[in-house]
Structure 1
Amino acid sequence: MNMQMSALAAGVPPASVRQRVTAQGAIQVSLHPGELMQIESPDQGQCCELVALGPSGADVYAPLGLNANVQSASVTLAHLSSGRPSAQRLQRQLEGWGIREAQLQQAVHLPADQLPLQIEATEQSGPVSLILLAPGEDMTPDAQTTVSELEVSLWLLPERTPELPAPLAEPVQEIHIPHSSARAYRVRAGEWIQIIDVAGKQCSDFIAFDAAALEQGEEVTLDAVATRTLAGHALPQPGLYSRFADSRLQPMLELVQDTVGRHDSFLLACTPKYYEDSGYFGHVSCSDNFNRTLKDWGVAPRAGWPAINFFFNTQVEACGTVGMDEPWSRPGDYVLLRANRDLICASSACPDDIDPANGWVPTDIHVRVYGAENQFERAIAHRVVPEELPRMTKQTAFHSRTSKLTRQFAEYRGYWVPTEFEGWGARAEYLACREAVVLMDLSPLRKFEVVGPDAEALLQYALTRNVRRLAVGEIVYSAACFETGGMVDDGTLFRMGEQAFRWVCGDSWSGTWLRELAEQRGDRVSIRESTDQLHNLAVQGPNSRALLSELIWQPENRTPVSELKWFHFTIGRLGGPEGIPLMVSRTGYTGELGFEVWCHPDDGGQLWDAIWEAGQSYGLAPLGFDALDMLRIEAGLIFAEHEFCNQTNPYEAGIGFTVPMKTKEEDFSGRDALQRQAPESRQRLVGLVLDGNEPVHHGDLVYDGRMPVGQITSATASPLLGKMIALCRVQPAWSEPGTRLEVGQLDGLQKRLPAEVRILPFHDPERLRVRS
């Protein structure tokens, strides 16, 4: 069969396996004759370099149709020669595969403009094993030469099962569970359990027993009600808990990694009754399979086993009805758990073939157990767009420093961020920002390099602000809107050059939207994400200018930090002309005088240490997201999915000042929709000060009598006013300062909290401090 022809034809079947090559990373791919691989650069700007594994690499390239591209892997070699930490990580990876410099000198270079490219293994090439690289040197903060990821799709022969992912460490147990069966196994305290979906879309039920209790004849198992109660959940719901407890309320297992993000906790494993009720008498079930495999451990059979239903895609309707669909899991997806004590575990490969639970075709499950001496980072999956591969939670460039100061972290936009710091707490961190200076990790902000002859024209249409008025070295805060007027995102635009910009925003999908917009318009522009090449610290507070002026060196042709104007940026180095390169912007999210300092992630530790040490004489404190929320609400600053969403326009989000209808003559996305809306009909963002100190929450309705007139978008206890305050979106007739309203809780009627409308911001209404 000619899989290459079929892949290029319409109606090509989905790829058997899809993989991602991370920026400056590499993966190994195996192809058998008749199998096809496609390499693609999602942002159309990343090259690929390819090395055949083994000594006969050069002889393989010709039958693969790659002989025209055989040359040195020049981009990879240049990166390795830098000796930077990213180069050292890649070097170790290549050495693990046995790749030497000689092989890199005789490799394949595929420029970005030749991607996507299909490669087919033939009888002449035989089975081949290839190393694919997404190479590039580290980007400095003032450059826009970002390195980005590649996507690889494989169409494998039907008889070939996808290869298992590489082990996370050296396994101490490998347990393969053929489809429609179950296996029991012992796990020691502290060991790690990786449950892998081999071919994708396959559910695996899991149960566990306290091993010591079982030896005494007592069955102490995972308990749904105990786990749910300790997590503060009233009812079962799709998803996984971070800890699973037994009936004694003691933790048994801890969730560490999850590449799928869609499971069910504690429905029954499938039972004979389910199949009988569906007319399939005698159909094998997970419960029966568990009974058989647990018999050797002295466990009594049950009609149905409560289980964690890994990879089972359920949804719960408002009325409580449970539905299901095909699993989200793909080949090689997994969950990683850690045992809190010695356990007897049982895992199944579900036999359900009468509904979508296993994609209609049951396949195998594989379990790996790793020794307790290993350490694995906590991570959960998220996706920017539904069809892409999952992205695991990352640590920022400063995590090694912040993790020494706190254990309180939350997942935000795919990164772990500290919520508050031990020894300080949100209130002390807030006060340090208002009175002295604070240091905060804001690396989850997404950065996009927008470069090309039509860069200005694209951004002039995509953003509400008048981009043509922006000078090089200047920054502007802007909204981006759909044609409906609803907001895509908000962010800050840096003008790096005449046709070179950096868009810093909250959502990775902003970049996808910009690319789609550029394609529709036919703009000649490159839009590449640089988030992984550019992390940033916020230095905020009255002492921030003095602190950074002491640390940042600038050449004579650059504005010094001490003279940097609001919403401008400058380039410098840490400590002197040989220090690490930095970009410094006079921006922030606190309502105080402040700056952001931008660096390559590999320089993050050095930057944090320098600011932390020098800042002690200025009263420096770390700042977590809990204190940031207090600061930004007092300052009247908006937050995605609170003050705005895709159904909220900039006027309703409280940032109508970003829409210069009169001074921006050119069209922009959403302009017609915004003009059609009468100003009198728009809801308005206002401040609320409550009479008492009872907390109110995002989503609480705001009433005038029995009539709902608005909704709380964000709220906090304000140290500034000594009261509970909120940002609130209300109907225009109720937006005048001094208007008396009530926040409704319980059912909106039984509990009312009086409040008064105030002008925003609560803190520094003239914004004199931030401009100082």
Structure 2
Amino acid sequence: MTITVAEGPRLLMPGMANLQPGVERYRITGGAVTAVLLGAGDRLEVIDPEGRQPVEVAAFDRGGRSDPGLLGELTHDATAGPAAGIASILAGDQPDARRVADALADKGIDLGAATAVHLFAPDSPAGQVAWLTAAADVVCVVGVPGVLGRRMAPDEQDPPTDVIAFVHRTVPPARGLEVLPTPLADQTQDIRIDAATAQAYEVKAGEFIQVIDVEGRECSDFQCFDAARLDGGVEAALDATITRSLLGASYPMPGLYAKYYSLDFQPMVEIVHDTVGRHDTFNTACNAKYYEDMGYPGHVNCSENFNRALAPYDIAPRRGWEAINFFYNTNLDDANQLYFEEPWSRPGDYVLLRALTDLVCVSSACPCDIDAANGWQPTDIHVRVYPATNTF
């Protein structure tokens, strides 16, 4: 059967964003910190989903001075004290912590003398919410330390858990705000993938691929092929089912179980850094049938975009491409139903991969605007490739 690759329609009108304009969502991983800029009057909502998780919030003015009063009047269950938990996290050996610490140091912020607002007691109930209001323009650092800022002992059951933060802006940012993080090193390729398109690119063994969500809440489907075998006419592509079977997990994460494998069980890429932690390996890239079933025949889709991008490599087109769907927020519920919600990714979030062999890769900026997969509004994806000589 021959599949004709036709030009896809243009995306004329994106859907509405799920969050109200001026509201930003952040997931702060247990044992980590997140820094955000708040303007005067902006409100910070902090939620402890699982309970019993202390949180520290430190605010710094333009001069780098720490003052809990910059976050308004404290409620009866919030106290001020040393930012020991934040300092402990940033003094650790995690690369992400070092980058945050370096960024704060560049702003002249001294965490050693910082004072923080302490939220949530060690016995606080699940779902507790705290509100803080910025009295001026501040750099706000939210830390989620372990109990008393220490590591969990082997015989204890009190690991730090994730918290959710919402920033409610008094003045919503202009639509299309992008955050393109500073390059991790000198790059060999710098690729902008426009919304609702896909691009193919080649990388060498050992090189690093950074897939960046520049505006947040945008899925990026990824697929790659062994370049040497492709030259021989064999399409040895990354295979999600093989990967899940070998790892015993839904998708790889940085660490021991970080590799994605091909259909013939060969490692293709490995995850080095991941600032989001929620992706999908169960679904194909979006395809024409999905949109037809949903009542949108002819809708542009990632599978047809992949076909067009891979055509110069003589790769056979497919109606639906198996892919790694970065930033796609899916899960299984108690009734064994696969469901999805808006992505967790924020502007500037990224995944960093290392190529384990010479590859032909393809990445998309998903065009779906009919559901929450991209927050109802497709946006761009940015890809950077770094030399193999780097250490990340």
Please state whether the residue corresponding to 1:284 is helix, strand or coil.
coil
Q: Find the counterpart in structure 1 of residue 26 from structure 2.
A: 18
Please state whether the residue corresponding to 2:105 is helix, strand or coil.
coil
Q: Find the counterpart in structure 2 of residue 339 from structure 1.
A: 355
Any residues of structure 2 matched to 1:187-586 within 5 Å, and which?
187-197=203-213, 202-214=218-230, 216=231, 218=233, 220-222=235-237, 224=239, 228=242, 231=245, 239-240=250-251, 243-246=259-262, 250-255=266-271, 259-260=276-277, 263-265=280-282, 268-276=284-292, 279-295=295-311, 297-299=312-314, 302-310=317-325, 311=328, 313=330, 324-327=338-341, 329-332=343-346, 335-355=351-371, 357-358=373-374, 360-373=376-389
Identify unmatched segments of 5+ residues in structure 2: 1-18, 122-127
Contact 1:252–1:341 (CA<8 Å) still a contact in 2?
Answer: yes
What is the distance in 1 between the residues matched to 2:21 and 2:361?
A: 37
Deviations 1:462-502 (A, max 9, x none): xxxxxxxxxxxxxxxxxxxxxxxxxxxxxxxxxxxxxxxxx
Which has the larger share of helix? 1
**What's the offset of the Cα at 1:13?**
10
Q: Find the counterpart in structure 2 of residue 31 from structure 1.
A: 38
Give the TM-score taking structure 2 as reference length: 0.62
Contact 1:222–1:247 (CA<8 Å) still a contact in 2?
Answer: yes
Any residues of structure 2 matched to 1:740-755 within 5 Å, and which?
none
Contact 2:71–2:133 (CA<8 Å) still a contact in 1?
Answer: yes
Deviations 1:352-410 (A, max 9, x none): 2345544544344344445434566xxxxxxxxxxxxxxxxxxxxxxxxxxxxxxxxxx
What is the distance in 2 between the residues matched to 1:330 and 1:102?
A: 28
Deviations 1:589-648 (A, max 9, x none): xxxxxxxxxxxxxxxxxxxxxxxxxxxxxxxxxxxxxxxxxxxxxxxxxxxxxxxxxxxx
- Quick one: higher RCO (CA 8 Å, sep 6+), 1 or 2? 2
Contact 1:47–1:134 (CA<8 Å) still a contact in 2?
Answer: yes
Please state if 1:179 is matched with 2:195.
yes
Question: 1:261 and 1:19, CA in 2 relative to 1: closer, same or farther beyond 3 A?
Answer: closer
**What's the offset of the Cα at 1:327?**
3.9
Contact 2:119–2:130 (CA<8 Å) still a contact in 1?
Answer: no
Q: Find the counterpart in structure 1 of residue 63 from structure 2.
A: 55
Question: 1:77 and 1:291, CA in 2 relative to 1: closer, same or farther beyond 3 A?
Answer: closer
What is the distance in 2 between the residues matched to 1:262 and 1:279?
A: 26
Contact 2:225–2:238 (CA<8 Å) still a contact in 1?
Answer: no
**What's the offset of the Cα at 1:287?**
2.5
Aligned AA for 1:16? E
Deviations 1:48-107 (A, max 9, x none): 35242642647x976753699xxxx96247997xxx998576996545422799855885
Contact 1:53–1:130 (CA<8 Å) still a contact in 2?
Answer: no
Deviations 1:323-352 (A, max 9, x none): 753246312465554322111211112212
**What's the offset of the Cα at 1:160?**
5.5
Question: 1:28 and 1:309, CA in 2 relative to 1: closer, same or farther beyond 3 A?
Answer: same
Contact 2:40–2:134 (CA<8 Å) still a contact in 1?
Answer: yes
Please state whether the residue corresponding to 1:28 is helix, strand or coil.
strand
Please state whether the residue corresponding to 1:264 is helix, strand or coil.
coil
Question: 1:63 and 1:130, CA in 2 relative to 1: closer, same or farther beyond 3 A?
Answer: closer
Deviations 1:562-607 (A, max 9, x none): xxxxxxxxxxxxxxxxxxxxxxxxxxxxxxxxxxxxxxxxxxxxxx
RMSD, aligned α-carbons: 5.3
Identify unmatched segments of 5+ residues in structure 1: 1-10, 377-772
Contact 1:17–1:154 (CA<8 Å) still a contact in 2?
Answer: yes
Contact 1:193–1:369 (CA<8 Å) still a contact in 2?
Answer: yes
Contact 2:85–2:144 (CA<8 Å) still a contact in 1?
Answer: no
Please state if 1:153 is matched with 2:169.
no
Contact 1:39–1:150 (CA<8 Å) still a contact in 2?
Answer: no
Please state whether the residue corresponding to 1:326 is helix, strand or coil.
strand
Question: 1:175 and 1:112, CA in 2 relative to 1: closer, same or farther beyond 3 A?
Answer: same
Percent identity over the alignment is 31
Question: 1:277 and 1:257, CA in 2 relative to 1: closer, same or farther beyond 3 A?
Answer: same
**What's the offset of the Cα at 1:138?**
4.8
Give the TM-score taking structure 1 as reference length: 0.35
Contact 2:58–2:83 (CA<8 Å) still a contact in 1?
Answer: no
What is the distance in 2 between the residues matched to 1:263 and 1:162?
A: 25
Please state whether the residue corresponding to 2:26 is helix, strand or coil.
strand
Deviations 1:501-521 (A, max 9, x none): xxxxxxxxxxxxxxxxxxxxx
Contact 2:210–2:353 (CA<8 Å) still a contact in 1?
Answer: yes
**What's the offset of the Cα at 1:239?**
3.1
Please state whether the residue corresponding to 1:98 is helix, strand or coil.
helix
What is the distance in 2 between the residues matched to 1:49 and 1:230?
A: 38
Question: 1:288 and 1:191, CA in 2 relative to 1: closer, same or farther beyond 3 A?
Answer: same
